[in-house]
């Protein structure tokens, strides 16, 4: 999801305006990124940066919730939890204890197209974390008891991240009808009734089918050279044979979307009703990122910040909405969504909010972007890209997401230029192409008149679950 | 689907009013139904009826489109076609040629929960058709060339039964969002892009997984005793070993339905726009048919004939609608739907049609059924049941559908009494239970103003595909 990094970048922009004004170097041959591939298929990516004696060490697997077997949604995520439950030589929880005892931190995350493991630690401990990561790539051996108790943890996690928020529940229902056939219609964390059916056996079968060096990407960012990382990788991952069960991911495809869908969810906890509409569309494709770049800029033009089209018309010129926004999931292996939302001021019916939202889009399609605003947006994007270069963890992350979503390092490198090259005409063309009602789901999240207080509103569009 | 048999029964009622007035005997211990089970698991059901020297011979498999592997929707139906393409000893098409050469007719059908094969032939040819049916249960061996050409036949069939009618396309889209997780969301015939991926190998894998005596029900109705049928079954099916791959069907379950859904489909071919709403609900359950019986009566009370609630208010008292109706899929292995629809007079907006439909239902929930109408409906149902007893093929069919949908012969026998026992209070209670907006899908089928002519309107609620 772009929303979080953007918001983050925006918050930090005032601190680095000078950088934002300078030309973006972009990722390029001099960007410190080096790669290698081991004989067993493990891909390595190193971003050398000697500014601090720390490394971020990640292993990404090309498998995620979209690969969960039917009826066992949540399995990829459950396995991600079980990866902390011990191997043939490490006890349950020992992995994280050792990382912490060595001054590091670790975590894991799962989404539709990837599952990843990350440690941040002093660079002289890279050898240690890599040896443990290689160990659990091949020798996972959790106890049945640990699986039973971890299932409770996952169930509780579902309560927290989905059921505790109306936006979470609503987002899940919208997704279920956004996709008519594809496994993206299922929640990453799994439907509750299916989580309850998960077993250690199922997780180990999934592990046996999808984990192994030939389905993994090692990314090390920080105080290490590619030579050092490759030598360590040869030592730790090199002895693991390729997993012959790993197959090319080929997901079920969508039938044509020909009928606009709507749904309405009422929840007593809703404080601020909103309307949200999402459209099925293409993500970035290898060596073909122009349209995705235009959609990325379009999302910003329509929904990013107070000068965006939706905000200007519905919040600045007219005090109509509490919040407005747009989103685009630029990186995905299969089809993604583009969306817009309006949270109207209290008391305004959603019918009216939707009509206003439609009218803003209608006018935008006629008039196109304001040249000054487009220039500001592109400056912001440029600044975000520069900021991203400064943040090693974020650079490593982008590479991991891209490589597990069918893109290449070259695509990652070319992305800032693709964004930079987007013209006003392309933004309008992208808008005309994406706003096809027949691919859309329009959702109304409503209260029941019982809500009190004024808590935050969750738009429910995130798809990644952070592990621990 | 109940719609077709009901419409049929109504057409014939005037010809048999006397029968309709007499007490319904109901299926019972004296109903001529006898059963047996072979050692290999094949279940046999015989309905002896010596009035004519013919038999209906059917083999039903407990497998259907809901068991299609993800990404290969349409496979069960494709296999049904391939069952006519030859065995180790019979050439392609020879099965049907032999049946016809012997004065018989044959066909096949597929739905979500079953696939069936049927011949109607002189009773002295029962031995012949059973020997051929047993042969293709175990020895199917179609040529790759036949699979390639048959795939074109299926693709053309999809064009005919789905794509050639706006109601077919619309029904498919509605179903895709009626179910959020369950394979009933996929069309029986398969999505076109998945039909195109079907192969002989996939069909033979499916055959090897699901076909065999232990997953089959033999039903013979007509001029044959259970002793004769059992002896023939021992001879022809007896030697086939049980298929060890056959597993209990356990389909993916639905998550809670919590958000009312809508969809809108525009098609230039639509002559009569309509609104249709369906709700997720339970079908008949073994030894627990009272609620399903009430829903069956409710569907008739609301939608069957010109005296039904919807018709009376929207067609008789007010000339508002061209047609109205209600439907309930009483027999299914998993969750089913209950629905209502209104086809308003030309020019009336669907918004108004929906509001009127809602108002009729609202008032019905308050007032309950008119006692006279309920009595008439129950008389009609009784007549239909009697008619069904007269029609051997229909009795055999009901048993096949029931036994492949988790019901028993006892449930089939008890069904007329269950319908007979339904009270006005139960009808209202069933209506209150089933009309839960959060489980509903409301569909609008709209034209584009380009249609001409005045052809039939397809409501798009059928789920069975007749083979040939």
pLDDT tens readout for residues B145-156: 999 999 999 999
Q: How far apart are CA B215 and CA B42, in angstroms?
A: 7
Structural domains of chain B, with CATH: 23-236 (3.30.830.10), 272-446 (3.30.830.10)
Query: Which residues on A lie below 8 Å from B247 (Cβ)?
Result: none
Out of B194, B251, B261, the one facing A262 most closely (by C-beta) is B261
Please give the residue of chain B at the shortest CA–CA distance from A193.
Answer: B255
Instruction: Give the mean pLDDT of B419-432.
Output: 96
Residues in A lying within 8 Å of B, measured between beta carbons = 70-71, 73, 169-170, 172-174, 176-177, 180-181, 183, 185-186, 191-194, 250-253, 255, 258-265, 443
SS3 annotation, A19-63: HHHCCCCCCCCCCCEEEEECCCCCEEEEEECCCCCEEEEEEEECC
Out of B180, B192, B263, the one facing A260 most closely (by C-beta) is B263
Out of A258, A260, A263, the one facing B259 most closely (by C-beta) is A263
Strand, coil or helix: what is A411?
helix
**Residue A250, pLDDT score:** 87
SS3 annotation, A104-149: CEEEEEECCCCEEEEEEEEHHHHHHHHHHHHHHHHCECCCHHHHHH
Contacts of B17 (CB under 8 A, 6+ apart): none
The Cα of B60 is separated from the nearest Cα of chain A by a number of Å equal to 26
The Cα of B261 is separated from the nearest Cα of chain A by a number of Å equal to 4
Q: List the single range of A170-179, B191-200, B390-399 with lowest mean pLDDT.
A: B390-399
Contacts of B299 (CB under 8 A, 6+ apart): B2, B326, B327, B328, B338
Mutation site for B-interface testing, chosen from A66, A255, A447 by largest number of B Cβ within 10 Å: A255
Structure tokens at A423: 């013209």
Q: What percent of chain B has pLDDT over 90?
A: 85
**Residue B14, pLDDT score:** 30
**Residue B468, pLDDT score:** 47
The Cα of A437 is separated from the nearest Cα of chain B by a number of Å equal to 10
**Residue A22, pLDDT score:** 32
Q: What is the pLDDT of residues B264-273, one digit of tens each?
A: 999 999 999 9
DSSP for B353-370? HHHHHHHHHHHHHHH---
Q: Which helix (H) or strand (E) holds A265?
A: strand A260-266
**Residue B385, pLDDT score:** 82
- The tens place of each residue's pLDDT in chain A, 468 residues long, gives 233 332 222 222 233 333 333 333 344 457 889 999 999 999 999 999 999 999 999 999 999 999 999 999 999 999 999 999 999 999 999 999 999 999 999 999 999 999 999 999 999 999 999 999 999 999 999 999 999 999 999 999 999 999 999 999 999 999 999 999 999 999 999 999 999 999 999 999 999 999 999 999 999 999 999 999 999 999 999 999 999 999 999 899 999 999 999 999 999 999 999 999 999 999 999 999 999 999 999 999 999 999 999 999 999 999 999 999 999 999 999 999 999 999 999 999 999 999 999 999 999 999 999 999 999 999 988 888 888 778 888 899 999 999 999 999 999 999 999 999 999 999 999 999 999 999 999 999 999 976 554 555 677 777 777 764
Round the average pLDDT of chain B to a whole number and report it: 91
Query: Which residues on A lie below 8 Å from B264 (Cβ)?
Result: 259-260, 262
Instruction: Give the mean pLDDT of B92-111.
Output: 97
Q: How confident is the model at residue B452 (pLDDT cuts 50, 70, 90)?
A: low
**Residue A2, pLDDT score:** 31
Q: How confident is the model at residue B383 (pLDDT cuts 50, 70, 90)?
A: confident
Q: How far apart are CA A446 and CA A423, in angstroms?
A: 38
Out of B73, B180, B183, the one facing A176 most closely (by C-beta) is B180
**Residue B26, pLDDT score:** 42
**Residue B450, pLDDT score:** 62
The Cα of A270 is separated from the nearest Cα of chain B by a number of Å equal to 14
Of B72, B289, B106, the closest CA to residue B199 belongs to B72
């Amino acid at each position: 999801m772009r929303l979080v990094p953007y918001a983050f970048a925006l918050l930090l922009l005032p601190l680095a305006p000078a950088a934002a004004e300078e030309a973006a170097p972009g990722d390029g041959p001099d960007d410190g990124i080096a790669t290698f591939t081991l004989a067993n298929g493990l891909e390595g990516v190193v971003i050398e940066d000697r500014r601090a004696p720390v490394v971020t060490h990640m292993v990404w697997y090309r498998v995620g919730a979209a690969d969960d077997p039917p009826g066992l949604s949540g399995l990829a995520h459950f396995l991600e939890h079980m990866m902390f439950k011990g191997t043939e030589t490490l006890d349950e929880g020992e992995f994280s204890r050792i990382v912490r005892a060595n001054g590091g931190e670790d975590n894991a995350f799962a989404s539709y197209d990837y599952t990843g493991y990350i440690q941040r630690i002093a660079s002289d401990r890279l050898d240690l974390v890599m040896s443990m990561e290689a160990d659990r790539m091949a020798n996972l051996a959790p106890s049945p008891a640990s699986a039973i108790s971890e299932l409770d943890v996952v169930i509780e996690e579902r309560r927290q991240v989905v059921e505790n928020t109306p936006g979470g529940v609503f987002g899940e229902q919208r997704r279920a009808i956004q996709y008519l056939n594809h496994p993206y219609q299922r929640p990453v964390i799994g439907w509750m009734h299916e989580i309850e059916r998960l077993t250690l056996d199922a997780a180990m079968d999934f592990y046996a089918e999808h984990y192994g060096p030939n389905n993994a990407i090692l990314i090390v960012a920080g105080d290490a050279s590619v030579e050092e990382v490759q030598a360590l990788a040869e030592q730790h991952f090199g002895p693991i044979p390729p997993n012959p069960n790993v197959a090319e991911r080929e997901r079920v495809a969508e039938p044509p979307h020909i009928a606009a869908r709507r749904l309405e969810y009422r929840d007593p906890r809703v404080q601020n009703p909103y309307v949200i509409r999402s459209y099925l569309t293409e993500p970035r494709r290898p060596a073909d990122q122009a349209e995705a770049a235009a959609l990325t800029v379009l999302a910003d033009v329509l929904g990013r910040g107070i000068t965006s089209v939706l905000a200007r018309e519905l919040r600045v010129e007219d005090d109509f909405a509490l919040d407005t926004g747009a989103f685009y999931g630029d990186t995905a292996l299969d089809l993604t969504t583009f969306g817009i939302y309006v949270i109207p001021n209290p008391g305004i019916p959603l019918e009216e909010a939707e009509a206003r939202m439609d009218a803003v889009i209608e006018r935008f399609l006629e008039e196109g972007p304001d040249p000054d605003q487009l220039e500001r947006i592109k400056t912001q994007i440029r600044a975000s890209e520069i900021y991203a270069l400064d943040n090693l963890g974020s650079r490593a992350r982008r590479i991991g997401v891209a490589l597990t979503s069918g893109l290449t390092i070259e695509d990652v490198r070319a992305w800032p230029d693709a964004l930079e090259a987007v013209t006003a005409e392309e933004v309008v063309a992208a808008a005309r192409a994406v706003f096809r009602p027949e691919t859309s789901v329009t959702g109304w999240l409503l209260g029941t008149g019982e809500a009190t207080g004024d808590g935050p509103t969750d738009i429910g569009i995130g798809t990644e679950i952070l592990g621990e």
